[in-house]
Chain A
Amino acid sequence: MSWDFAILILSGLPWTIVVTIGAFAMGLILGAPLCAMHISRNPILHFLALAIIIFLRSIPPIVWVFLLFFGLGSGFISIGAIPATIIALGVVTAANMAEIYRGSLSSIHAGQWEAISALGLPPVSSFKDIILPQLFRVTLPSAASYLIGLFKDSAIASTVGVMDIAFLANFVARKSFDGLTPFAFAAVLYILISIPIALVARIADARLRQKVAQ
């Protein structure tokens, strides 16, 4: 495999990033109402959220991508490969984020809520100023490791023709009659990019921890 091929595979990186960030942003946002429904006292909302979460998590992401791209695409709504992948991975991420949010909420000490009501603080601003900063700190490590997993799962986009790293590795493998180097190169690329994400998350986590420790 020559350098040209390496650069060609590398040129898939923007689409890999677009799919990952798009799906992650969608999951971060949609995960919040889903979590709120799940912890709601209203039994209908609770079970609805439970059903949505378990369904989204029990069907493989690639099947969701196919359902949107081929399923909806065949005579229902025409949808591009990139939006289809982002939405499919996004809703699966939302279900997982809802679970992560719920875990973080339950890790917040009950005394915090009691103190808020004992002091008679207004609910909205106290959630924003007291609960949310703590929530952010607890959520960060699990969200970061989910992001790394999602980054690798974004390779699924290649199956519907998004020209990401995995797609171009496959393309180069076919073109050069060498299956070994392109895929090894792609694997190394995925690993190398995961490292800084993990590093940034770890540093941010350590900084946030330091703030609370005092």
Chain B
Amino acid sequence: MSDILSFWGTYLPQILDGLGISLKVTGASLAIGIPAGLALALMVQAKSRFLRWFCLAVVEIGRGAPALILLQFAYFGLPNVGVSLTSFAAAVAALSWSTAAYTSEIIRAGLQAVPRGQIEASDALGLSFADQLRFVLVPQGLRVAAPALLGFAVLMLQASSLAFTIALPELLSQAYIIGTTTFRYMPILCLAGLLYACICIPATLLVGWFERRLARHA
């Protein structure tokens, strides 16, 4: 046991570096993906048929294709059309797409939960469309969507481990690299798993607490 602890101690800095990159990729993907998801949620209801179909295609491909394929497409595929991304940029691009697609559905459901009377009232008050969005629809819709969005953020941290396949030195990659050099896969993969659990378990509990709290005020 003390043997494993000292092994963990030796490689902890490298593993924590990996965790940092995992968190950065997740954070960047959420920061780009969620606003894009909001835009998609609004645009799939647009009047222009072209725009509607385009957004629908973006959402359906982002949700329908495995994240693993999107990652490899961004990293190995895009250089063929002259866009060479670093593994970090490719991971952020692919996971943002996936985030935008999934969150657009979550946000759309949130926006639909805003009572019709709210929209009618803001129409009656003569609010412009932009103000209606800014002051009435988006704040209320996002409040409904918040627990689901947080739950999705936890899944996104887990999905960032798929960036292993495009050689991004995130948590799982670091654990794997240490495993190949020391041939002690089991303890180092356990440590990586524990670190994921250390973040995801409190986050999941927080989401549950948040959901119950919102339900109480509904």
Chain A residues with a Cβ under 8 A of chain B: 54-55, 57-64, 66-67, 70-76, 152-153, 155-156, 158-159, 166, 169-170, 173, 178-180, 183-184, 186-188, 190-191, 194
Stretch at the interface among B40-48, B58-66, B116-124: B58-66
CB contact under 8 A between A63 and B193, given known A76-B186, A190-B65: yes
Not counting A71-B190, A179-B78, A179-B80, a sample of 16 additional A-B residue pairs whose C-beta atoms are within 8 angstroms of each other reads: A54-B204, A57-B200, A58-B200, A58-B201, A59-B197, A60-B159, A63-B193, A67-B186, A70-B179, A76-B186, A156-B162, A159-B68, A166-B72, A179-B73, A179-B79, A190-B66
**Does B172 reach chain A (CB closer than 8 Å)?**
yes
Given contacts A60-B161, A70-B179, is CB(A166)–CB(B68) below 8 Å?
A: yes
Docked-complex contact A70 and B80, CB < 8 angstroms: no
Q: Is B69 an interface position by the 8 A CB rule?
A: yes
* B197–A71 CB distance below 8 A: no
Asked if residues B159 and A156 are in contact (CB atoms below 8 Å), the reply is no
Cβ B68 vs Cβ A158 within 8 A: yes
Contact with A along B48-62 (1 / 0, CB 8 A): 000000000000110
Select one of A74, A75, A183, A188 contacting B72, CB under 8 A.
A183
B66's partner among A59, A155, A179 (CB-CB below 8 A) is: A155
Q: List 26 contacting pairs A-B, 8 Å CB cutoff, sorted by A.
A: A55-B201, A57-B204, A61-B158, A63-B189, A63-B192, A63-B193, A66-B175, A66-B176, A70-B179, A70-B189, A73-B185, A76-B186, A152-B65, A155-B68, A158-B165, A166-B72, A170-B72, A173-B72, A173-B76, A173-B77, A180-B73, A180-B77, A180-B81, A186-B65, A187-B61, A191-B65
- Which A residue's beta carbon lies closest to that of B162? A62
Say yes or no for B129: interface residue by CB 8 A criterion: no
Minimal beta-carbon separation of A30 from chain B (angstroms)? 19
Shortest CB distance B175–A (Å): 8
Residues from chain B with a CB closer than 8 A to the CB of A76 are 186
Query: What are the 9 closest A-B residue pairs judged by CB atoms, nearest first?
Result: A179-B76, A58-B200, A191-B64, A187-B65, A179-B77, A60-B158, A183-B73, A152-B66, A70-B185
Most B CB contacts (10 A, CB to CB) among A60, A75, A166, A190 go to A60
Report the separation of the CA atoms of residues A63 and B175 in the bound assembly, to the nearest whole angstrom: 10
B19 at the interface (CB under 8 A from A): no
**A71→B186 contact, CB < 8 A:** yes
Within 8 A of A (CB), among B155-204: 158-159, 161-162, 164-165, 172, 175-176, 179, 183-186, 189-190, 192-193, 196-197, 200-201, 204
Q: A190 to chain B: which residues have CB within 8 Å?
A: 64-66, 69
List chain B residues, Cβ under 8 A from A72.
186
**A60–B196 CB distance below 8 A:** yes
CA distance A59 to B164 in the complex (A): 15
Residues A187 and B190 in contact in the complex (CB < 8 Å), given A59-B200, A60-B161, A173-B76: no
Structural contact, B204 and A58, CB atoms closer than 8 A: yes
B residues less than 8 Å from A73 (CB atoms): 185
Residues of B contacting A166 in the complex (Cβ-Cβ under 8 angstroms): 66, 68-69, 72
Task: Name the interface size band of chain B.
Answer: 35 or more
Q: Give the residues in chain A near B78, CB-CB below 8 Å.
A: 179-180
Determine whether the beta carbon of A187 is less than 8 Å from that of B70.
yes
Q: Which B residue sits closest to A64, measured CB to CB?
A: B193
| A171 to B94 alpha-carbon distance, docked (Å) | 20
Most chain B CB within 10 A, of A58, A67, A73, is at A58
Known: A58-B201, A60-B159, A179-B73. A159 touches B193 (CB 8 A): no
A46 to B51, CA, bound (A): 50
Residues of A near B190 (CB, < 8 A) are 67, 71
With A57-B204, A63-B192, A191-B64 as known contacts, state yes or no: A74 contacts B70, CB within 8 Å.
no
CB-defined contacts of B184 to chain A, threshold 8 Å: 74
Q: Which residues of A contact B76 (CB under 8 A)?
A: 170, 173, 179, 183
User: Closest residue of chain B to A55, judged by CB?
Assistant: B197
